[in-house]
Structure 1
Amino acid sequence: MDIGAVMNTMRDPAGVPAQPVVFQILMVTTWVGHIAFVHLALGSAGLAIFAFHRRAAAEYWERLSMAMTKVAKVAVSLLIVLGVGPLLFTQVIYDPQWYTSNVLSGRWAIAFIFTLIVAYCCWFAFYHANREGAKKHIGVYAWAALGLFCLDGLIMHALSYQALLPDQWMNWYAPGGMVDTRGAALHAIQWPRYVFFMSLCVPAVGLFLLAYVHYFAVHADREPAYRAFVSHLGRQLAQWGYAIALLPLLAWQCDFPAGSGLALHPVGWLIVGAIATMALWMRQLDDNAHGYLPATFGLALLGLLATWREIIRIHYLRPLGYTIRTYPVHADWPSTVLFFATLAGIGGLVGGFYLMLLYRAGRTQGVYIADRTAARLGTGAVSVLGVWIAVFFVYGIAVSMHNSFN
């Protein structure tokens, strides 16, 4: 059986409305925001639990635990929302691989939804109960949530990795010639890759703490001693987190198939060098050094990692006869223009307005009063949202009526 011919036959016959490389770029870029909040959610959840159990050791641990509990709660919401983009773009150009992998592990794909719901409910219970003088037993909710979050990460890893191994699909679907439609197994797990991605949650929360110190520097309720405590902890977590992440990364580099050329690929080793550099840089930082620059470099590193994931996918699938360049293109300019206008207008203007408002309000001691620029940006955001809703419905009704009369 020619697996390449099978995958190309499984493609959506409707094709894609623009060049596939457009969706490839969007898939890579949107994944950065998603994985950043995955790491922040796991890192802040782990730190919240650690600080919760260290409350009696120092006066600042309890306050930090409550703060990180809130951060994890919000980060989980954002990782879900921002995960929609890369998932949709993956389904556009890698639909044969993604859907097949989900069917082969169907029970786990469905279990992902339920376990994520249970995990978030458990974390919200911990968030609600984590107050000054909270009972120790409420930590059970947090541990259960963190365990389920890690399980969900493993499920997503397995589904993504199985999609890279089409030559194994028949062995998983019909082992020994007997068809198995249960979807009850995770068939392929690359442990070094999974551990590496999970390990990045440690430096992620470290970089966040450095930005956290700077953000609340103007608030009187975050006294200098507390900020110094958080800054020192953030630097330590970032330094040792990046150093520890090097071990599974190197193991992953040595785990690629022989002859694939990935083990010696320059991008992979560039990531190794970048992580080592980040670890050394965090070691050289003064405890009083804080700000957004370390977090910015951390996001740039995730961008490099996102590119590396796509290079790996291309190297795995190309020898089997699959490349996105041959995906059928049926140009649809109205929907393409509407999509990018939505991305720029809603994502850029409306999203930018919210981000600016959150930043300025948080950096203000007392009541924040918006200036003329913020007020105009808010008016523009509301106007763009109204126009977008109107265009969405008008365009949809026009297309529906056109199809009805033809």
Structure 2
Amino acid sequence: MNAMRDPAGIPAPPFVFQALMVITWAFHIAFVHLSMGAAGLAIYAFHSRSRGAHWTRLSMAMTKVAKVGVSLLIVLGVAPLLFTQVIYDPQWYTSNVLSGRWALAFIFTLLVAYCSWYVFYASNHEHAKRRAGCYAWIALLLFCVDGLIMHALSYQALLPEKWMNWYAPGGVVDTRGAALHAIEWARYVLIMGLSVPAIGVFLIAYAHYFSVRGDRDVRYLAFARELGRQIAQWGFLFSIVPMLAWQFDLPPASGLELLPLGWSIVGALAIMGAWMRLPGSSVQGYLPMTANFGIVSLLAVWREVIRMRYLKPLGYDIHSYTVHPDAPSMLLFFLTLAGIGGVVGGLYLTLLYRSGRVAGRYTAEPLVRYLARGALSVLGVWITAFLAYGVVISLRDSFN
């Protein structure tokens, strides 16, 4: 594995990319949970329309949430994948080659799933026919398959001692890449199952967000809040089961089952489940969703701890990766992250949040106007710096 590392090394200490990988994965998986939970609830509400108008309205709303959520989880999934390739390139590429057909199938099945969900989105209205739900079921099934593919590719990367047996079973080389060689079902069920409490806490935040608008039905918002509380309650409590199963499925020799971090996730799930059992007035606002993201962040860290414990006994330690410091590129990266991600991204998020809480036409407040001017300035500086950096490097290389 060490021989398969990039001979050019990396431009900064490995812990920088490790931290970025964990942080970006947490945001990515948060939108995976939101999208899967919204899709499941949209389908359930679609088939429950006979129970009242609230279910029809909820189905249409959650269909939109899932549509936007999938696009965001795809975009946000690029960053952790790239950071993984920086410090865990031997494992990730080997796993993808061993299951090459599935890695390619992921792209096509995701395209079909997203297109199917768009058909359902266009068909899901007050007078929609029941057969429109077939497209939603196809999309949800394929989303689950895509999650399984990503899980298998990640888990196979943790088991390099089995690679040769998968590549050449019985001494006969198999280059088809036609199998998913390793699946840890407890881990997969936990990560996918956390979509249930995620959509529950989202409904609580959803009801709070629109509570200031006079054109929103108060009874519908109360219905959404209470439904979210109940979903979150049972979702958190049931998530304890696969989390415990995963804990006890970890290799005994690794000592992972004794680390406090894994058990803190179990405790956090139990605390959240107990909190959701309190009266409705005690469970509202954005705090439950924020706390849920805290659990997701713990899970992101726990995945990385597990990966390091699996690989280190086999002689692979990311902190021994060759480092060739490249201050200009790292400075450009972090300034881009702060400027484009912070200021420009902050403008979009603030604008969306403020405008959505106003019925009718929205007039930007001073804060939004200041952010808009700052975003334009940052974009101008970034484009200029980016082009200038490229020109300088090109001229330097030409004269050398």
Q: What's the TM-score bracket when you normalise by the shorter of the two chains?
A: over 0.9
- How far the C-alpha of 1:289 sits from its partner, in A, is 3.8
Give me the whole-angstrom Cα distance separating, in 2, the residues matched to 1:234 and 1:121.
Answer: 28
- How far the C-alpha of 1:404 sits from its partner, in A, is 2.5
Residue identity opposite 1:61 in structure 2: W
Q: What is aligned with 2:25?
A: 31
Give me the whole-angstrom Cα distance separating, in 2, the residues matched to 1:196 and 1:396.
Answer: 45
Q: What is aligned with 2:354?
A: 360
Q: What is aligned with 1:331?
A: 325
**Which of 146, 162, 169 is 1:175 aligned to?**
169
Q: What is aligned with 2:335?
A: 341
Give me the whole-angstrom Cα distance separating, in 2, the residues matched to 1:237 and 1:375.
Answer: 39
Give me the whole-angstrom Cα distance separating, in 1, the residues matched to 2:312 and 2:253.
Answer: 13
Confirm or deny: 8 A CA contact 1:256 1:262 kept in the other structure.
yes
Residue identity opposite 2:286 in structure 1: Y
- Superposed CA RMSD: 0.9
**Which of 109, 113, 122 is 2:107 aligned to?**
113
Which deviations, in whole Å up to 9, do the C-alpha atoms of 1:208-232 show, x marking residues without a partner? 0000001111223321111110011
Matched, 1:386 2:380: yes
CA, structure 1 residues 257+246, in 2 after alignment: closer, same or farther (shift >3 Å)?
same
- How far the C-alpha of 1:395 sits from its partner, in A, is 0.9
Confirm or deny: 8 A CA contact 1:48 1:68 kept in the other structure.
yes
Q: What is aligned with 2:82?
A: 88
Residue identity opposite 1:211 in structure 2: A
- How far the C-alpha of 1:191 sits from its partner, in A, is 0.3
Bigger mean CA offset, 151-160 vs 363-372: 363-372
Q: What is aligned with 2:183?
A: 189
Q: What is aligned with 2:50?
A: 56
Q: What is aligned with 2:204?
A: 210
Give me the whole-angstrom Cα distance separating, in 1, the residues matched to 2:390 and 2:178.
Answer: 40
Q: What is aligned with 1:45?
A: 39
- How far the C-alpha of 1:75 sits from its partner, in A, is 0.2
Give me the whole-angstrom Cα distance separating, in 2, the residues matched to 1:371 and 1:264.
Answer: 52
Residue identity opposite 2:57 in structure 1: R
Confirm or deny: 8 A CA contact 1:70 1:127 kept in the other structure.
yes
Q: What is aligned with 1:292?
A: 286
Give me the whole-angstrom Cα distance separating, in 2, the residues matched to 1:127 and 1:288.
Answer: 34
Which deviations, in whole Å up to 9, do the C-alpha atoms of 1:62-93 show, x marking residues without a partner? 00000000000000000001111100000000
- How far the C-alpha of 1:397 sits from its partner, in A, is 2.2
- How far the C-alpha of 1:392 sits from its partner, in A, is 1.2
Q: What is aligned with 2:6?
A: 12
- How far the C-alpha of 1:265 sits from its partner, in A, is 1.5
Give me the whole-angstrom Cα distance separating, in 1, the residues matched to 2:133 and 2:214.
Answer: 30
Which deviations, in whole Å up to 9, do the C-alpha atoms of 1:360-400 show, x marking residues without a partner? 10112221111222111101101101211121122112212
Matched, 1:77 2:77: no
Q: What is aligned with 1:161?
A: 155
**Which of 261, 271, 278 is 2:265 aligned to?**
271
- TM-score, scaled relative to structure 1: 0.97
Give me the whole-angstrom Cα distance separating, in 1, the residues matched to 2:117 and 2:398.
Answer: 49
Confirm or deny: 8 A CA contact 1:97 1:163 kept in the other structure.
yes
Matched, 1:395 2:386: no
Which deviations, in whole Å up to 9, do the C-alpha atoms of 1:254-297 show, x marking residues without a partner? 10112110122111111000001000011114257421000010
Q: Percent identity of the aligned residues?
A: 66
Residue identity opposite 2:267 in structure 1: G
Matched, 1:240 2:234: yes
Q: What is aligned with 2:248?
A: 254
- TM-score, scaled relative to structure 2: 0.99
Give me the whole-angstrom Cα distance separating, in 2, the residues matched to 1:73 and 1:397.
Answer: 40
Give me the whole-angstrom Cα distance separating, in 1, the residues matched to 2:180 and 2:190.
Answer: 19
Matched, 1:126 2:120: yes
Confirm or deny: 8 A CA contact 2:36 2:195 kept in the other structure.
yes
Which deviations, in whole Å up to 9, do the C-alpha atoms of 1:163-221 show, x marking residues without a partner? 00000000000000000000000000000000011110000000100000011112233
Residue identity opposite 1:392 in structure 2: F
SS in 2 for 1:9: coil
Give me the whole-angstrom Cα distance separating, in 2, the residues matched to 1:288 and 1:294.
Answer: 10
Structure 1, gaps ≥5 residues long:
1-6
Give me the whole-angstrom Cα distance separating, in 2, the residues matched to 1:213 and 1:302.
Answer: 22
SS in 1 for 2:181: coil
**Which of 97, 100, 110 is 1:103 aligned to?**
97
Give me the whole-angstrom Cα distance separating, in 1, the residues matched to 2:151 and 2:279.
Answer: 34
Q: What is aligned with 1:4?
A: none
The number of aligned residues is 400
Give me the whole-angstrom Cα distance separating, in 2, the residues matched to 1:289 and 1:278.
Answer: 10
SS in 2 for 1:186: coil
Q: What is aligned with 1:65?
A: 59
Matched, 1:143 2:137: yes
Residue identity opposite 2:64 in structure 1: K
Structure 2, gaps ≥5 residues long:
none
Q: What is aligned with 1:3?
A: none
Give me the whole-angstrom Cα distance separating, in 1, the residues matched to 2:279 and 2:170.
Answer: 58
Matched, 1:219 2:191: no
Residue identity opposite 1:348 in structure 2: G
